[in-house]
Amino acid sequence: MPTSETPETAGTADAAGTADAPDATGKADAADPVVPEHDEADAGAAERRSDRRAVAAVVGALLLATGGLVGYGLLDGSADEPERQAVPTTAVTYEVLGSGTADITYLGDGEAARAGKADVARNARLPWRKTVQVPHGRQPLVSLTLGAKGGQATCKLAVGGKHVQLSSATGAFGRATCSSELSAPEGAVTTPGGDTR
């Protein structure tokens, strides 16, 4: 019985995998099997390769973008630091009166003061006097220590030209300290390390 082919069924394979479509001569070639273009294992492997390539492309793009941002300084954190405003200062005069020498420790206005440390004048000849600009929020301080020979010395502290404290030391290794408070500028915050911001 002759079969009729429709354009929809032309070139389809039967259950045995043979083509029942006519070739160019009009005869069906039963010896040519139909080979599928992809089998399922090959399709899964191709998908995984495609996924890996996509992930590698995204990671590469992120690394390039991060490198570019660091190169331009956008991630170095400097933009997060607030500008330091100048902190007002007050003139403070330290005096140590007496004779001989003494070790004198005081809050100055140099690098040591900015680091929160005191300056030290060892074996300073008395009388000794120094005026410095102390930032508000810091504690002006002068202390003296007499040597082994002892003696007598007095420290004096003046803030803004006004004497605020006087203290004396006598004898071998005698000690005296003078200090005062300078208020922090309005709206400023003093950190535990003594920095005023």
Domain spans, the chain:
14-65, 89-179
Edge-to-edge order in the sheet of strand 141-146:
119-125, 101-106, 141-146, 175-179
- Position 86 pLDDT exceeds 50: yes
Higher pLDDT, residue 109 or 7: 109
Higher pLDDT, residue 56 or 9: 56
Name residues whose C-beta falls within 8 Å of residue 12's C-beta, 6 or more positions apart in sequence: 19, 20, 21
Q: What is the DSSP letter of 72?
A: T
- Position 166 pLDDT exceeds 60: yes
Q: Are 123 and 152 spatial neighbours (Cβ–Cβ below 8 Å)?
A: no
Cα separation, 105 vs 111, whole angstroms: 15
pLDDT, mean of residues 169-197:
72
Candidate from 19-33, 53-67, 173-187 with smallest mean pLDDT? 19-33
Give the chain's mean pLDDT: 75
CATH of domain 89-179: 2.60.40
Percent of the chain whose pLDDT exceeds 70: 60
pTM of the model as a whole: 0.52
Which tens digits make up the pLDDT trace of 20-30? 555 555 555 55
Instruction: Give 89's pLDDT tier (boundaries 50, 70, 90).
Output: confident
pLDDT at position 180: 92
- Position 33 pLDDT exceeds 80: no
Q: Are 76 and 70 spatial neighbours (Cβ–Cβ below 8 Å)?
A: yes
Which tens digits make up the pLDDT trace of 103-155? 999 998 877 777 778 899 999 999 999 999 988 888 899 999 999 998 999 99
Three-state DSSP at 138 gives coil
Instruction: Give 38's pLDDT tier (boundaries 50, 70, 90).
Output: low
Sequence letter at residue 133:
Q
pLDDT at position 63: 78
Higher pLDDT, residue 33 or 139: 139
